[in-house]
A and B are shown apart, each in its own frame.
Chain A
Amino acid sequence: MAFKSRQYFAKRLSTLLLSVGMLWASACSLESDDSRNVIGERVEVITFTPDGNGDVSYYFDAQAGRIHRFDLSAGRLTDSFVVPQPDKEHRVFVPSSEAYVVDFVETQLTIFRSDQATVREDLNLPGTPISAAFDEATRTLVVYDDLSSIALVRLDEQGTIEQSWIGGPVFDPETLVRAGDFTSDGRLVLSFSNERIGVIDVNGSLESGSWQWQDQEPGIGLIDWVAPIQDQSDLVALHGESSLVIWDVSANTAITSTDLSEGTVTYLYKSEIPHFYYSESGTQKLFTIASDGSVNSTVVPLERLIKRSQISADQTRLTVGYTEVDGSLVVRQLRIQDGVTLYTDSFRSMDQNIYGFSQSFLLEIYPSGLGSLNIIDLATGNQKSIVNYNLPFFQ
């Protein structure tokens, strides 16, 4: 019994130390989750379903060694998944349909279905997965690691891996992949270090085990951001060295171009409404790309650099996160039309907690072994708590 207990607590202690380490790393300064230089979206310990109002959150709880699903509207834990290697750092990726929950730990990928069945696969990526994209129609998962390697994974409806292939970071001896994403109709568009883009033949690449692509040249220099545009299956937004181009990948031509040479693009975000922040002459501007491909800008009345950002589906509200001079985290919701603050809150204990927000909810998660989090409804300011949700998993 005593030996068993020592093992048990050693394991739990290592989990605690790991989680404290993770939180410390992410909390000492607020890291941006911008989507520059990645394929798809960055994978993190917490994610919100991108459709609707983001009222579902998945979170890797290091204390319990599980991925939890929280219904933020109802204020309750609705599902939980046991992950392999719970003592290690995990990242979560969930497609908008929630058909699967994808867990990344080191080079291993675990796919959870809603019936708790799991599929595990060691992708043998050379690096650590940092981002992922998913095409619902073809059930194709693209995983991008910190060494610019790319995994193409084709799933069936049950989440079983039908095909997978690891593509190297180099397309040809002088060409590296820089960024990418799926178009809204499922074509994978990658940008290269040679200032060109490629529309990837995913099926052909999976079949042949080598990259098959159609080369295009937008002519805007090095492209570090590729974002799909909702409802416009032929269009993608490309951020080049000093401009933003709405590019038609079918017609191989630019639809619109926005000059950004007078200022600095700080952070770029995809979500449902692709947008980015642009500083020019001391003014911070928000650029949004509408579903019709039009680009609009408005001044954001904030001096601090915005590192986290969400736009409501109706494009009326902007929720941002930034750090104040004193190090505290500020979450603020603004009305885009006139910049009026609808909600604001400040958190000083950033070195302990994990924060995340969707379009509608702010989530404050404490490093509690028993489980404790606060949900703040950004529209009403109402607060709910979910507590002790980990307790049954330790019994």
Chain B
Amino acid sequence: MKPSRYWPIPSSLFRLLVGLSVWLLAQNQGLGKVTFVGNGGNAVDYEITRSMDKIVDFLQIVQAGNSLPCECKESERDFDLCESLKKLNEPQRKQCESSLKQAAPELIRLIQSGQIEYRWSQDDLHVRERHQKAQERPVTAISQPDKNVMMIDQNRFVKLSTERKIALLSHELFHFVKAPDGQFYQDHQAYSAFSGPQGVRQLLNTLGARIALGAWRLEDFLGDRSKAYVHHFIAYRNTALSDPDSLTQNLLANDSRRYTEFQYRYYWGWHGMGVHWGSYDLDASSFVPGANTRLKTNNFGLTYHYRLFPFSPSLDEAWLSSQLHIDLSLGAFLSQGDYEIKDPYTSLRSDWNSRGWIAGANLMLPLYRGFWFIAGIDVRGEQYEIKELSIEDQHTSWGNTFGVSYGF
């Protein structure tokens, strides 16, 4: 028998390593706070743990007394979560905010105490509506507050997006909380401003959406990815302009000019205003043999901006789908500078004055910590004057733009 190349690990040591790993994981992920009952635990447990952590993070802010209205921001209008929030009337909105504030401490306690037992079900779950006895409605989760048990249809749960998981779990958690009237929240009851036969259900759906939305705003889903909903942006852009023959053959030898530009933009919702200061410094061979041309200009401009968000946002890909946008701009600029053409023997220098319009379409790709990558196209119409050469002309140039931006 050949000797083994592998040393067997003693079973006691193996058990010790596994136990230590589980303990470390539990410390990091808060597994100790949540009790699972199912097929011996599975990968979906993590989804609940993670969701519960997000819910607690948000509820702690509520508990701290912050004003958190039950409404979506303009920039969040395309979120699915906002469907229920947008339908609220004023009394319902106030009720939502009140219920959230009132229940927050108890919800936190429930989650952190681990008294709720989460049970995975591999079978479909159904509830029988009180007023429609003959019908059963398929559901993803069923809460039994008297038993401190939450049954979850694992197959349906795993298919939910992250924000829906949070909204669902938040909804279900409210069933374990008593309303100010001392009763548990039950779906088929009317409640305050939510006066319909399924009033509580509507309220809890709203609360679930609000908590999920709040969790998203807490950057838990974007992480340290850059966010589009901030108001201030500064940007550095570099634009390679392709000039027409009239300009290159009369004034410059190069086919292209390169502009560097600093921008500040302020956005409200989809709209924004920007100011930019740009400089252009070319020192290149000239259209005159043996001569060099130098054009150094400073540009100042004002632009109006409009942002297009091309994707329907999803919290699972929120960093990209909810933040990536196209910035459309239109504005005007003034330019002043020096034009010089020189060879080793003589030179000619003149003031350069120009003015014109600028339009652009720039893709804003979110990076990290407020930084963005910019890529796009610019087109600018420019009317310029070089007094010493008695030149007055106008042209349109196209440019490819790359740059970085920082939003705060």
Contact = CB atoms under 8 A, between A and B. Distances in A.
B125 interface: no
Interface residues of B, number: 23
Interface string B280-299: 00000111111100000000
B341 A391 contact: yes
Given A13-B289, A16-B289, A395-B389, A369 B343 contact: yes
A388 B289 contact: no
Interface string A1-31: 1101100110011011000000000000000
A91 B255 CA distance: 36
Given A369-B343, A370-B341, A388-B348, A12 B250 contact: no
A61 to B, nearest CB: 11
Interface in B231-276: 245, 248-250, 253, 255
Contacts of B287: 8, 394-395
Nearest to B288: A369
A1 B256 CA distance: 11
B345 A370 contact: yes
A394 B343 CA distance: 14
Contact of B343 (A5, A13, A370): A370
Contact of A369 (B248, B249, B289, B389): B289
Contact of B389 (A8, A368, A387, A391): A391
Of A366, A367, A372, A388, the most chain B CB neighbours within 10 A belong to A388
Contacts of A2: 255
B348 A63 contact: no
Contacts of A15: 289
Contact of B290 (A4, A8, A368): A368
Contacts of B250: 395
A370 B348 CA distance: 9
A366 B348 contact: no
Contacts of A391: 288, 341, 348, 389
Contacts of A149: none
A184 interface: no
A15 B287 CA distance: 13
A5 B248 CA distance: 10
A391 B346 CA distance: 11
B180 interface: no
Contact of A367 (B249, B288, B290, B389): B290
Nearest to B388: A388
Contacts of B3: none
A284 interface: no
A371 interface: yes
Contacts of A5: 248, 253, 255
A367 B245 CA distance: 27
A390 interface: yes
A367 B344 CA distance: 9
B289 to A, nearest CB: 4
A394 B344 CA distance: 18
Contact of B255 (A1, A12, A63, A388): A1
Interface in B208-242: none
A388 B290 contact: no
Interface string B321-364: 00000000000000000000111111110000000000000000
Given A63-B290, A395-B250, A368 B255 contact: no
Given A369-B290, A369-B291, A388 B346 contact: yes
Nearest to B251: A395
Nearest to B391: A395
Nearest to B390: A392
A372 B347 CA distance: 9
B389 A372 contact: no
Given A1-B245, A394-B288, A368 B343 contact: yes
Contact of A12 (B289, B341, B391): B289
Contact of B289 (A1, A63, A366, A372): A63
Nearest to B290: A369
B253 to A, nearest CB: 8
Interface in A97-137: none
B257 to A, nearest CB: 14
Contact of A370 (B245, B253, B288): B288
A102 to B, nearest CB: 26
A371 B346 contact: yes
Contacts of A9: 253, 285
B397 to A, nearest CB: 13
Contacts of A13: 289
Contacts of B291: 368-370
Of B253, B343, B346, the most chain A CB neighbours within 10 A belong to B346
Of B288, B289, B345, B347, the most chain A CB neighbours within 10 A belong to B289
Nearest to A17: B289
Contacts of B391: 395
Contacts of B248: 1, 5
A372 B288 contact: no
A388 B342 CA distance: 9
Contacts of B343: 368-370, 372
Interface string A302-326: 0000000000000000000000000
Nearest to B245: A1
B137 to A, nearest CB: 69
Interface of A: 1-2, 4-5, 8-9, 12-13, 15-16, 63, 366-372, 387-388, 390-391, 394-395
Q: 4 shortest A-B CB distances, which residue pairs?
A: A368-B345, A372-B346, A366-B345, A372-B345
19 contacts: A1-B245, A5-B253, A5-B255, A15-B289, A63-B288, A63-B289, A63-B290, A367-B290, A368-B343, A368-B344, A369-B288, A369-B290, A371-B346, A372-B346, A387-B348, A388-B346, A391-B348, A394-B287, A395-B249
Given A5-B248, A370-B342, A388-B348, 13 more contacts: A2-B255, A8-B287, A13-B289, A366-B344, A368-B291, A368-B344, A369-B291, A370-B288, A370-B347, A370-B348, A387-B345, A387-B348, A391-B348
